[in-house]
Structure 1
């Protein structure tokens, strides 16, 4: 057993955890370093699981954050297939699933998030799938070669990206969404319509304002989805993508403040000076927005660990990067910079025609840019980020004019 208060320990061996370990070594920490993960896979990135890897474009080797030998070279004690069951803050120790205890000097929680489950009858039938792990992505890839009709419950990013991969593989897809449009809470009506039109163009049966009553099956395997109005939608398989919940149970049981994530200051420290949080599980105070926010996207898991590592080593730091995410669906590629809550804007300004799938959309309030999304228009994220960060008022007619350089606004 590692002696008390001797090691820096990271709980969560995915992108955020692996990048935190890398950052600690790069910033000069040479003491004992332990990275603990429940999964048996080496730390990997999750975006390919619903994008390139799911579509069969990316190899398995590409998803890993580092090759296996890197952890040995960096003298990182990588413990896979191990779960931390409790944090003993008074003793500065972790209880592990094998019954042992592990001391820590500084602790980083990078426990991520888990798919929200749909609590309806039939939810445990074979053929009802969720997508978070590489094993789940592997199962879906195999399904695409064998099933004829997939039903996707939820028109969020995971649901739509998996739908695009399935349609590209020739699978018939029906998408069931409780709201009036896909991604409505994230993008608002004006831009959500773009994604509805895109998927309909590719033959997806989109059904909105739909509630799911149950999953129906025969011999223990799903055969259809019963809707709230009694309609039965036949299904050879079902994918549920209704969002994710942060894995906060460990932190909550330890008495750390939790509210839709582990609450941290702008330096990613919790109210315990020796415990930090990063990635999907962290709800961190953000200087730009003056409140804590939680961002479930790749860029956060990639960049927050640099700040967390510095904080663990005693530096005064602030994580103030503007949120960023991206998606690839069929011929649509896009990047989004900013943060807008539902109904938090008063106007969407388009630069270009959304119908051509080559445009930039800006969410604005009182003439200030809150967020921007470039669709099949590249090398513009930096000026968009600058508009968001400075929050200066701009001429909206010039914002909409492709002939006016964004950097001049």
Structure 2
């Protein structure tokens, strides 16, 4: 059985490694658009951008791993088309046959329209190694950076820029930063953290356009105010990379639509990672995280090998900003109550409940709260809210209740 995997990121690397670990002895080909081997993306907007991590330390596996496991790496050449009838993928002038195909195409950043200056020089996104390498020289002390979008990527870039001595302003159109993904309590904590480091955060602030002829020189806000900028980073979210799947006729629903096993509408094609949506409860989820990319990809590999194992997502996320480590367990969709534990020193956690059900935990500098919360959610346990807020209660004891 010949297996082709399109997308050489975290999910793609996880699929091929798991297939070999499970004893698959047929051909495996991993195809990626970038020239670099599969690498970690989270450090791009943190340690790598700060200059604290070399590129080679980003690699998920050594080059020797792929050679030793006879995994053919096809890098630097995007796939033009999938032919589900002939069961081939086209790369350049070559057609590569497959018995089973896995799409791990990831996601692409949302761009500002060129009509409002999105195509000017000095305007960057943070999505891949090339993006970060291109913007690195801009990070010099005293320069003025404007970040469009108050999500995690933008805020992580703001933290790096502030550490390096830049003058940083974050523009957020919504009433608060992180509004789509976090509680007001978490937003307040992160906002105060950035303000303490000199970052200016402008919420409920719309962007009219970027200024400049060929290179960005500033921004004009929707209220007419103009702010100068030496460069701009756009962090307004990502979209699942589905164009290849759409052209192949696969069903799309908030990403490439998969069933519980990870199979798409074509029985010979599977999908995993940022690009894939999957059934959960009465709805569908699509998770943008390292944890999901690994877990979902490994389940797909198991199912290609005949496991018939439904994917059960256990969401977790993290973000590093300054000396704060934010760890998130679960998904807060539909919460109606926030329970605060702490602060204890610089540690605090926010626990999301829907009625009496624990949904998620945001833990700032509190790995114990994160680990206990994650295990409680995985076990389907929801402690009484008063126990969470009572600092005299040992959190670990709640796992035995």
Normalised to the residue count of structure 1, the TM-score between the two structures is 0.94
Match of 2:337 in 1: 347
Aligned: 1:395 with 2:356: no
Partners of 2:137 and 2:300 lie apart in 1 by 38
Match of 1:242 in 2: 236
Give CA-to-partner distance per residue, 1:172-208, whole Å, 9 cap, x none.
Answer: 1010000111101111212211111111111011111
Q: Where do 5+ consecutive residues of structure 1 fail to align?
A: 1-5
Question: 1:393 Cα deviation (Å)?
Answer: 4.3
Partners of 1:23 and 1:232 lie apart in 2 by 52
Question: 1:314 Cα deviation (Å)?
Answer: 1.9
Deviates more, 1:47-56 or 1:312-321: 312-321
Match of 1:171 in 2: 166
Tell me the matched-pair count.
Answer: 397
Match of 1:71 in 2: 66
Aligned: 1:359 with 2:348: yes
Aligned: 1:319 with 2:307: no
Match of 1:9 in 2: 4
- Secondary structure at the counterpart of residue 18 of structure 1: helix
Give CA-to-partner distance per residue, 1:260-318, whole Å, 9 cap, x none.
Answer: 211112221112221111111011123xx443201111111222211110111121112
Match of 1:384 in 2: 373
**Cα RMSD for the two superposed structures:** 1.5
Give CA-to-partner distance per residue, 1:24-74, whole Å, 9 cap, x none.
Answer: 100000110000001111111100001111122222111111111221111
Give CA-to-partner distance per residue, 1:334-380, whole Å, 9 cap, x none.
Answer: 21000122xx11111011029x5411210001111100122111244
Q: Does the 8 A contact of 2:349 with 2:369 survive in 1?
A: no
Partners of 1:114 and 1:131 lie apart in 2 by 10
Aligned: 1:275 with 2:300: no
Equivalent in 64, 78, 96 of residue 83 of structure 1 = 78
Partners of 2:30 and 2:366 lie apart in 1 by 39
Question: 1:404 Cα deviation (Å)?
Answer: 1.7
Partners of 1:291 and 1:324 lie apart in 2 by 19
Partners of 1:225 and 1:140 lie apart in 2 by 18
Aligned: 1:308 with 2:303: no
Q: Does the 8 A contact of 1:147 with 1:237 survive in 2?
A: no
Deviates more, 1:39-48 or 1:267-276: 267-276
- Secondary structure at the counterpart of residue 271 of structure 1: coil
- Secondary structure at the counterpart of residue 353 of structure 1: strand
Q: Does the 8 A contact of 1:147 with 1:236 survive in 2?
A: no
- Secondary structure at the counterpart of residue 222 of structure 1: coil
Match of 1:3 in 2: none
Q: Does the 8 A contact of 2:186 with 2:362 survive in 1?
A: no
Q: How does 1:153-164 map to 2 (within 5 A)?
A: 153-164=148-159
- Secondary structure at the counterpart of residue 181 of structure 2: helix
Match of 2:359 in 1: 370
Partners of 1:249 and 1:138 lie apart in 2 by 26
Q: How does 1:102-141 map to 2 (within 5 A)?
A: 102-119=96-113, 120-141=115-136
Q: Where do 5+ consecutive residues of structure 2 fail to align?
A: none
Q: Does the 8 A contact of 2:141 with 2:164 survive in 1?
A: no
Partners of 2:380 and 2:239 lie apart in 1 by 30
Normalised to the residue count of structure 2, the TM-score between the two structures is 0.95
Q: Does the 8 A contact of 1:212 with 1:225 survive in 2?
A: yes
Question: 1:140 Cα deviation (Å)?
Answer: 2.6
Q: Alpha carbons of 1:71 and 1:393: their partners in 2 closer, same or farther (altered >3 Å)?
A: closer
